[in-house]
Amino acid sequence: MSDVFSLKGRRALVTGANTGIGQAIALALAGQGARVTCAGRRSCGETVAAIRATGGEAEEMILDFADPMAATHVFEGQGYSILVNNAGIIRRADSTDYPEADWDAVMDVNLKAVFFTCQAFAKALVAEGAPGAIVNIASLLSFQGGIRVPAYTAAKHGVAGLTKILCNEWAPHGITVNAIAPGYIATNNTEALREDPERARAILERIPAGRWGRPEDIGGTAAFLCSPAAAYVSGAVLNVDGGWLAR
């Protein structure tokens, strides 16, 4: 059982791996022995350097999911067996005023690109008769409504649904499909909330763990879901939120 969490010999692609949660996931996978392709619309050089500094294997790839089909030709014949769909954007406005352009941009990156990237990945594995693991990054707003983020909420509800249907179709091929729903994580995206004393206090008061999450909390969970230890876990949307949804 000593290798039950090992990813040695596996090749992974992590999208949005240049910073925050995506960077932590890439580091966690590499820490378990995977060779990681760190993909993003901007350079992931910092993540690659951090992995290599600890003796891991990594390279970067520029992928801009403003084109939802950006990754459709990435996987065939390349030996990938792990995919983590982390890249995402958010646009805020009252629902009465929400622009169509913002709706389309968010849905393209956060939902359409997730589906077609998963599709391309699974096609390659099914053709090779090889098993694999997909982890999609969902959100607390896969379960809740939020405020002033209608496209983001709709997309993250969609990610939860996609995770379940793709599990149903691909589990017979040995491909697990799961999602992680992060809670309030201390990243650049939540900096404004953490710097607002009233909002930060209200958030912390609801989190049973009594702290903001760390990116590595998500990284460790992703590594588990990609490992042999999670071979019988599929179709799950796993909350990593310090107990937020239980409150």
Give dist(CA 45, CA 143) in Å, integer: 34
Residue 23 identity (one-letter amino acid)? Q
Half-sphere exposure of 186 (CA within 13 A, CB side): 11
Task: Kindly give, in sequence order, each residue whose CB lies less than 8 Å from that of residue 18, ignoring residues fewer than 6 positions away.
Answer: 38, 40, 42, 43, 44, 46, 47
Tokens of 199: 């909002």
Catalytic positions are 152
Q: Cβ distance 168 to 235 under 8 Å? A: yes
